[in-house]
């Protein structure tokens, strides 16, 4: 999961600049996403899409996952209260003071934009580089949405790359709020009410 998220967000308009040193970005981002994945796995909401057993040879070389989606259940935050000291220490170790402050402020802005109404929260959706273009990310998202629709649970996400906005809107997401980050990036957040089957 960490490998896919690191590759997926390496040049993302929001997450790429969060790790400003391009020379060390893969290692720094990898350490950051490893921590965040660990926090998400406190719950059983996240999903992965695996290659079939007879998948292509590159699956053996790169790993077997095609896509990952990192979800949190209603009422839960990305970082537990107990993990905040470790998170702060990690960020201090990975980033200089300016980059750490920018990351903290962005986190505050995302938290402020998040609706208070209970919802499942999709924080990250990524596709393995060798599997891009196959519709695997949206397929994984559709599978999660079917489950949340059945349970009557709304969902929420932040689109850090405007190229993905239309994909989310096709699945029934509607714009919620626009988050304007200090570096100039604009992040559209989306809300999706549960939908009836069919």
Contacts of 100 (CB under 8 A, 6+ apart): 91, 92
Burial group, residue 159, by CB count within 10 angstroms (0-12, 13-18, 19+): buried
**Pseudo-torsion of CA 4, 129, 134, 53, nearest 10°?**
-70
| Residues 156 and 122: beta-carbon distance below 8 Å | yes
- What is the pTM (predicted TM-score) of this model? 0.90
Helix, coil or strand: residue 167: helix
Q: pLDDT tens across 9-31, in order?
A: 999 999 999 999 999 999 999 99
Res 54: pLDDT: 47
The DSSP bridge partners found for residue 125 are: 69
Q: What b-and-e string marks burial along 38-74, b requiring 16 or more CB atoms within 10 Å of the CB?
A: ebbeeeebbbebebeeeeeeebeebeebbbbbbbbeb
Confidence band, pLDDT 50/70/90 cuts, at residue 63: low
Per-residue pLDDT reduced to its tens digit, 78-103: 999 999 999 999 999 999 999 999 99
CB 39 within 8 A of CB 73: no
Q: What are the tens digits of pLDDT across the range 100-157?
A: 999 999 999 999 999 999 999 999 999 999 898 999 999 999 999 999 999 999 999 9
* Res. 59 pLDDT band, cuts 50 70 90: very low
């Amino acid at each position: 999961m960490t490998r896919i998220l690191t590759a997926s967000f390496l040049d993302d308009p929001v997450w790429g600049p969060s790790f400003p040193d391009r020379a060390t970005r893969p290692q720094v981002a990898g350490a950051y996403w490893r921590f965040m994945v660990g926090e998400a796995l406190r719950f059983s909401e996240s999903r992965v899409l695996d290659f079939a057993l007879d998948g292509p040879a590159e699956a053996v070389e790169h790993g077997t996952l095609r896509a990952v989606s990192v979800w949190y259940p209603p009422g839960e935050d990305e970082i537990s209260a107990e993990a905040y000291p470790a998170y702060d220490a990690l960020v201090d170790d990975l980033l200089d003071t300016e980059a750490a402050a920018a990351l903290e402020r962005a986190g505050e802005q995302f938290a402020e934009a998040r609706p208070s109404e209970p919802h499942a929260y999709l924080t990250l959706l990524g596709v393995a580089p060798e599997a891009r273009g196959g519709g695997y990310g949206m397929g994984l998202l559709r599978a999660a949405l079917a489950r949340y629709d059945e349970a009557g649970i709304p969902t929420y996400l932040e689109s850090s790359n405007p190229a993905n906005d239309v994909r989310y809107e096709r699945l029934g997401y509607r714009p919620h709020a626009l988050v304007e980050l200090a570096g100039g990036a604009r992040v559209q957040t989306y809300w999706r009410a549960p939908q009836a089957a069919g």
